Amino acid sequence: MPARASIYICDGMFYVPTIGAADVGWVDIEPILKTEAEGLAESLRSSLARGNPEAPSPGRDPDKALIVKATGSKNWRDFEKRSLSVTILCHPDHYEIIPMIKNKLKRWSFNHEQTARIPVDAGLEGVAQWAANYLKSHNAP
């Protein structure tokens, strides 16, 4: 199973959580790093260095998600309206970036048509650049 990371953009800032493996699937756990675009590659490097440790399953209330608190959002719905994310899978020869897109109701869905494959020799700098450009251009208020 490839290592994974996520990047969120909210109000122009980037958030990189540690991704934990829970019984219910992948979950955001602490620490959650906050950065501007210039620090995104280093934040990804730090997150991936922590691996994807086992994590407890979160409660059912999305308003209590750690990322909601980290971004200062009122609740999950407020967070979802103001933010967007990408998931990064680290394969031996490439990085796969699966972006989200907002539908008409400002809710997220996967945007598989724009999944990117970044060669491993582009490094996390290449991943960060692609992700930052995508998130900035697709997270219109």
Looking at the structure of the chain, the number of domains it has is 1
Q: What is the CATH number of the domain that holds 27?
A: 3.40.1590.10
Angle at 46 between CA 42 and CA 47, to 5 degrees: 115
**pLDDT at residue 32 is higher than 90:** yes
- Residue 51 in this model has a pLDDT that exceeds 80: yes
- Which of 8-12, 16-20, 106-110 is least confident? 106-110
Domain residues for the domain of 81 are 3-138
* Residue 13, φ and ψ in degrees, nearest 5: -105, 155
Q: What percent of the chain has pLDDT over 90?
A: 84
Backbone φ and ψ of 115, nearest 5°: -60, 135
